[in-house]
Amino acid sequence: MWIIKKLLDLLNRFTKKCNTLYLDYDKNQKKKAQERLDALKILETKEYIFKNVSSKTKQNNYLKRAFFATVIMVVLFPIILSLNAPNNLLIGICSIFILSLSLSYTYNSFIVSLLSLNRYLRKILFSILTFINIFILGDIIIASISNTNISNRILNFFENLFTEYKLQIAFGNDIWLFWLIFTLMTASSYISLYLVLKTQDVFELEFMGKENRLLLSSLAIVTFIIGIDIDKVKLIGILCLILVIQTAFFEVFYSYLLSKMYEKAQNIIQEQFLKNEDGIDYNRLVECYYYGGEKYKEKLLSMEKFLVIIVENELKSLKDLKNYDDYKLYKAIRARNI
């Protein structure tokens, strides 16, 4: 009993320390967000945005999140073991969910951090993240019904895709336990995915939306052909089921996050539209683009009084011109002011 008390005391001190670190982290996050906002230019290309505004500038934050999630998992694991979770359904459910959440959040943050090193990989971040998630999650779930050791499962992963596992052999009459484990682990995976998506800019989310729709269009047919049996499962079926649910959940998360960002962008554009040309704040227009992405960039450039302010601030001289479109804008505004 004293071991549990000692561990709980350690957890309490760790929680207080985490709270202090979180406050410092939150302050630093706001500072970093402002720096990204200051670096943003409405007329710049996507390459510039990915280099100076998007996930590459947040790499250290992803590593910190992965580290803290790992620490939480390491601290909680011995506590959960000491609570005799296998003999208590409620404790078992909580244990599986918490450990799965911390594990999935750790590797999701670490993966995003690695992908942020390369601008081409960042453009297909969602696809890579999705397939790594279903591989890890599928392997862990199949491990609950297979006696094969982890090294053999990974080496023979593609050979085992169509291997059929009878759940009654592993769980007897308690087949529902398998689907409970499946539900808990997939739910924790989707929550961790949502937490990672919340850290993405509107530009990254717009790219992910295209990838997700492509996956959804092909998965509906594949999953229908393979099918899912409640008493017998195949690894390929489990992977496709996870992928279908994950892409569907992403569509919900994606729509929700973009709607919140677009709402902020719309408020800014309405606020600035009501002002005369001399009263328009260029920094607020940049902020509108920061939240609204390509959709609101088109709106900003389609309104003449906004376009004038943007060009005057971003194309101040010939050395700022990067392409022929910039030259045409620069020439048109210069002619207007003569």
Q: DSSP per residue over 265-317, as a string?
A: HHHHHHHHHTS-GGG--HHHHHHHHHHHHHHHHHHHHHSHHHHHHHHHHH--S
Same domain (yes/no): 63, 191: yes
Same domain (yes/no): 280, 254: no
- So what's the pLDDT on residue 338? 46
Q: How many residues does the chain have?
A: 338
- So what's the pLDDT on residue 104? 82
Same domain (yes/no): 177, 129: yes
Contact 146, 167 (CB under 8 A): no
Query: What is the maximum alpha-carbon separation in the chain?
Result: 85
Same domain (yes/no): 244, 327: no
C-alpha of 265 from chain center? 21
- β-sheet bridge partners, residue 232: 166
Between 271 and 159, name the one with better pLDDT.
271
Mean pLDDT score across all residues of the chain: 72
Tell me how many domains the chain contains: 2
Range of the domain at 272: 264-337
**pTM check: above 0.85:** no
* Residue 269: pLDDT over 60: yes
- So what's the pLDDT on residue 336? 55
Long-range Cβ pairs for the range 288-292 (8 Å, 24+): 289/40, 289/42, 289/265, 290/36, 290/37, 290/40, 290/53, 290/201, 290/202, 291/202, 291/261, 291/262, 291/264, 291/265, 292/202, 292/261, 292/262, 292/264, 292/265, 292/266
Same domain (yes/no): 188, 320: no
Same domain (yes/no): 208, 296: no
Contact 108, 65 (CB under 8 A): no
- So what's the pLDDT on residue 128? 78
Between 31 and 220, name the one with better pLDDT.
31
* Residue 317: pLDDT over 60: no
Q: What's the whole-number mean pLDDT along residues 119-143? A: 75
Same domain (yes/no): 206, 255: yes
- So what's the pLDDT on residue 57? 53
- So what's the pLDDT on residue 64? 74
* Residue 264: pLDDT over 70: yes
Same domain (yes/no): 29, 13: yes
- So what's the pLDDT on residue 259? 83
Same domain (yes/no): 192, 332: no
* Residue 337: pLDDT over 60: no
300: confidence class by pLDDT, cuts 50, 70, 90: confident
